[in-house]
Structure 1
Amino acid sequence: MASETPITSASELTRGQRLRAIMAGSAGNLIEWYDFYVYAFMALYFAPLFFPQGDRTAQLLNVAGIYAVGFLIRPLGGWFFGRYADRRGRRAAMVASVLLMGAGSLLIAALPTYAVIGAAAPLLLLVARLAQGFSTGGQYGAAATYLSEVASTKNRGFYAAFQHVTLMGGQLSALLVLILVQQAFPEDTIRAWAWRIPFALGAVIALVVLLLRDHMHETVTPADGAKDREAGSLAALARHPHALFVVVALTAGGAVTLYTFTTYMQKFLVNSAGMDVKTVSGVMTAAMVVFMLLQPAIGALSDRIGRRTCLLIFTGVMTLAAVPLLTALGKVEGPVQAFLLVLAALTILSFYTAISGLFKAELFPSHVRALGVGLAHSVSAAIFGGSAEYLALWFKQVGHEGWFFVYVAGLCLLSFLVALSTRMPRRDDMTA
């Protein structure tokens, strides 16, 4: 891989270089999240092929279990790629994680079903999701760190918000591909084999990151010698326990809300509200477009009112709104009502997602920034985000679906209390 002279300050970049760097870094993030979300959106179709026993909820529980396991390995990926990004550069870590994600998608696309190879089928599905979870754990910290460092100080919130624009762009792309597959093939064909197409596409587009890497200007000098031996080390990170706690606590409410109202909502509206699969896909696509467009606006607002104020708005409002919103969504009678309710939830969530990577990056010094963000975020996302879908389905199966709604509100209350008691730093120099 070709390497440029490291640029250690965003002030050294021209406006054109900065924009190209942000676009290239964001594109890699989009590819990564497209591959990750395709699994969630295609689960309704391939679940019976890998777990043929039981009713729809039981099958989805099995698939959600593997989905959750993909989250559980994310802290390991956050540690591995975070250390690599702090020691060898943000760009190298982002490229490597995207290529690993593509490999996981390729394995799923080619995977034989339970009818062909028996119990080995769900086992190999698990292996693929472990690779993807490992990759995702690395991408988040490296991307959040890179975009916060390459952005200008005055507009850092606006530029850093593009991490979530592309995260949602990846999810939206997965939804759009799902809709195209639904329009191109009858349902029986999709369930038989056409569900593989989005995974195969994800493997191919992962290679695009290789074409973009020369536009991703490095923001740190690779560690070399004794003076840099602590870069990306757990020993150095351990000196920042408060920052680690804040990231874990605030990610708890953010992650459970994000995965509840995005990936799980696709299944919730079908399985609980009784809506048609294609109708739900249209509702979620429209809501996600608006959600994506909100990110830069909220990011720019954070440059004026501060990250902490945005976090207080999200956690405080969602604590009060989670139960009534989810209760109403479980009883929707049409797509317009579903769209408005989902959009209301996503608008509240935007006050977290737009600044999620940035406020975490500003908590840590540069030599442990990617590790601190990636590891702490991945631990919390694994515990609270990765389990959200499984818990929701389990509560439904035992006849107490409403308890999950209270659980979401409770985590948001915890995050609110932490945000209320924490002073968020505002770093002018992200190389420090």
Structure 2
Amino acid sequence: MAIEHYTYPNTFKNQFKSVLGGSVGNLVEWYDWYAYSVFSLYFASAFFPEGDQTAQLLNTAGIFAIGFLMRPFGGWLMGMYADRKGRKAALTLSVLLMSAGSLVITFVPGYKQIGIVAPIILVLARMLQGISIGGEYGTAATYLSEIAPSNRRGFYSSFQYVTTILGQLIALSILLVLQRYLLSPEQLSDWGWRIPFAVGAILALSAIYLRRNLSETHSFRSETATEKTKGSMSEMFKFSRELRVIVGLTIGSTVAFYTFTAYMQKFLVNTSGFSKNDATTITIIALVAFMFAQLISGVLSDKYGRKNMMICYGVLGMLTTVPILTNLEHANHIWLATSLIIISLFILSMCTSISAIIKAEQFPANIRSLGVSFPYATTVALFGGTAEYVALLCKQSGHANYFYWYLTACIGVSLIVSITMRDTEKFSRMNE
């Protein structure tokens, strides 16, 4: 039976504390996850000394993809844990796993010291982080959606990607400081690339403290479903239509997100011909704009509707992706490249700012975290985790533009789903 939405926490102080606690761990986790990508330009040769730069980047991108393959397992494990033991417990555990992986990468010797064992350990560390990040999205999305007032769910949801981007910005800022002020390129390649992973492990301590002091959501505490159905895969698969919606929406957003964030720095260096320093600067500026765009899009979605925002993203994304990437490929000025990326990210924010709340509204509380985490993580593993690898393969084959059309097609899938899905503002299981 539908009941009036319970607004929890009911004071600004408690709301701020809960939003901060629910999202700051997301910041730390995505900082750790993204540090691998932005510093791979420097540590690729430490683990794969043979071959040209593109071949080395392909190897590190392959490991990046392996980490993504663990995300469905993490989505299942952490989603089930969150639905059975609580959102707070799962959020704390996910940060612990991510920081453990960062510590391993910080201290693992290179190929010259221990041979093939070095990349094997790197793979294992990324697998551990993949489990962590696989459950983080769904659990954080569930927590933020359950504490949000019903008329501000889009705005609250936007904080998930605000902290995701902020984590990326911190990783890039550390790289920029190391590049320009502290270390030479040789020092960065020799040992300096280890610094950000050590910083990530230290930052995790603050996130663990904040999450240990979170208040559990009212939705979880008042859940009356039987223990057998909480976090149950069989229960989740009863919602086949909702699962298809999550997969379809995720295909377009995840390929676009990893293209214009994680892969873009390499694209600027390896395709557009910018220096590593300029590529880092461009990416930082674009991500700052992307971060603020989340909040703007979240507010707009509460006013004009989340489904309408998703449709706008799909239409604009399909129309602009190929022209923007084609022009970016030949861009020879830093501000031209920055402007093109910002345009793409502003369009993408129409989707990323609200995608989490749309997914969380599909499921009842007893399987909400699992229902979001597992299909999302599986889709990201198949499409987001391989985006960089597919782009590099197209580049190596001499047909970089094939990837541009591939991305456009993925956005098209999300557009079709956005048009045909039920409007969650009218049919939300969050109010049941």
**Range of TM-score over shorter length:** over 0.9
* Aligned 8 A contact 2:165 2:287 in 1: yes
1:337-375 C-alpha deviation (Å, 9 max, x unpaired): 010000000010000110021111011111111001101
**1:322-341 correspondence runs (5 A):** 322-341=321-340
Which residue is equivalent to 2:408? Answer: 409
- Are residues 251 and 200 of structure 1, via their aligned partners in 2, closer, same or farther at CA, if it must alter by over 3 Å? same
In structure 2, relative to structure 1, the CA distance for the partners of 1:161 and 1:225 (3 Å cut) is: closer
Query: What letter is aligned with 1:228?
Result: E
Name the CA distance, whole Å, in 1 between partners of 2:246 and 2:30.
21
CA gap of 1:428–1:154, structure 2 versus 1, over 3 A, is farther
| CA distances 1:17-48 after superposition (whole Å, capped 9, x unpaired) | 11110011111110110000000000000001
Aligned to 1:4: none
Residue pairs, 1:178-327, within 5 angstroms: 178-182=175-179, 183-219=181-217, 220-221=219-220, 227-327=226-326
Is the contact between residue 363 and residue 430 of structure 2 (CA under 8 Å) also seen in structure 1?
Answer: no
Of 89, 98, 103, the match for 2:100: 103
| Matched residue type, 1:254 | S
Say if 2:35 and 2:197, in contact at 8 Å, map to a contact too: yes
Task: State the shift of 1:11 in Å.
Answer: 4.1
**Partner residue of 2:430?**
430
**1:259-284 per-position Cα deviation (integer Å, ceiling 9, x unaligned):** 00111000000000110000111111
Give 2:378's aligned amino acid: V
Distance 1:428 1:268 in 2: 40
1:164 corresponds to which letter in structure 2?
Answer: Y
Q: Is the 8 A contact 1:153 1:428 kept in 2?
A: no
1:5: which partner in 2?
A: none
Residue segments in structure 2 that go unaligned for 5+ positions in a row: none
Cα offset, 1:224, TM superposition: 9.8
Does structure 2 conserve the Cα–Cα contact (< 8 Å) formed by 1:223 and 1:231?
no
What is the identity, as a one-letter code, of the residue corresponding to 2:393?
W
Counterpart AA for 1:331: H
Comparing 12-21 with 201-210, which one deviates more in the overlay? 12-21
1:131 aligns with 2:119: no
In 1, the alpha carbon distance for the partners of 2:262 and 2:428 equals 35
1:70–1:133 contact (8 Å) kept in structure 2: yes
Contact kept in structure 1, 2:8 and 2:15, CA below 8 Å? no
Matches of 2:429 and 2:381, distance apart in 1 = 31
SS at the partner of 2:375? helix
Are residues 1:17 and 2:14 paired?
yes
* From 67, 80, 83, the counterpart of 1:83: 80
Q: 1:228: Cα distance to partner? A: 2.7
Distance 1:366 1:377, change over 3 A: same
Determine the C-alpha separation between the residues in 2 that align with 1:415 and 1:206.
34
CA 1:278 to 1:306, structure 2 compared with 1: closer, same or farther past 3 Å? same
The residue number in structure 1 matching 2:168 is 171
Aligned partners of 1:294, 1:316: CA distance in 2, in Å? 18
Q: Is the 8 A contact 1:298 1:351 kept in 2?
A: yes
How much does 1:305 deviate?
1.3
What is the deviation of 1:222? 6.2
| Aligned residues of 1:88 and 1:223 also touching (Cα < 8 A) | no
The answer (yes or no) to whether the contact 1:158–1:296 under 8 Å persists in 2 is yes
Structure 1 residues 258, 224: CA separation in 2 closer, same or farther (over 3 Å shift)?
Answer: closer
- From the superposition, tell whether residues 419 and 282 of structure 1 become closer, same or farther in structure 2 (CA, over 3 Å): same
Structure 1: where are the runs of 5+ without partners? 1-7
Alignment of 1:377-416 (within 5 A): 377-416=376-415
Q: Within 1, Cα distance between the matches of 2:101 and 2:22?
A: 21
Preserved CA contact (<8 Å) 1:84 1:93: yes
CA distance in 2, matches of 1:300, 1:226: 33
Q: Which residue of 2 aligns with 1:46?
A: 43
Question: Partners in 1 of 2:72 and 2:26 — Cα distance?
Answer: 18
Distance 1:430 1:225 in 2: 15
CA distance in 2, matches of 1:223, 1:244: 24
Letter in 1 for 2:300: L
Please give the alpha-carbon distance, in whole angstroms, between the structure 1 residues aligned to 2:362 and 2:112.
50
SS, match of residue 424 in structure 1: coil
Give TM-score, length-normalised by structure 2.
Answer: 0.96
Bigger CA drift: 44-53 or 152-161? 152-161
Measure the CA separation in 1 of the matches of 2:283 and 2:135: 27
In the aligned structure 2, how far is the partner of 1:115 from the partner of 1:228? 52
For residues 208 and 420 of structure 2, the distance between their equivalents in structure 1, rounded to whole angstroms, comes to: 43
Q: Tell me the equivalent position of 1:350.
A: 349
> Is the Cα–Cα contact under 8 Å of residues 361 and 428 in structure 2 kept in the other structure?
no
Task: Give deviations 1:116-165, integer Å, cap 9, x for gaps.
Answer: 00001111110011011110001000000000111111111111110010
Contact 2:25 2:208 (C-alpha < 8 Å) held by counterparts: no
In the alignment of these two chains, the number of paired residues is: 425
Indicate if the aligned counterparts of 1:34 and 1:202 stay in contact, CA closer than 8 A.
Answer: yes
Question: Percent identical across equivalent pairs?
Answer: 44
Separation (CA, whole Å) in 1 of partners of 2:29 and 2:61: 20
Q: Counterparts in 2 of 1:54-73, with a 5 A limit?
A: 54-73=51-70
Amino acid of the structure 2 residue aligned with 1:321: T
Looking at structure 2, the residues matched to 38 and 205 of structure 1 have their Cα atoms a distance apart, in angstroms, of 13
Q: Which amino acid aligns with 1:185?
A: L
Matched residue type, 2:339 = L
Contact 1:366 1:431 in 2 (8 A): no
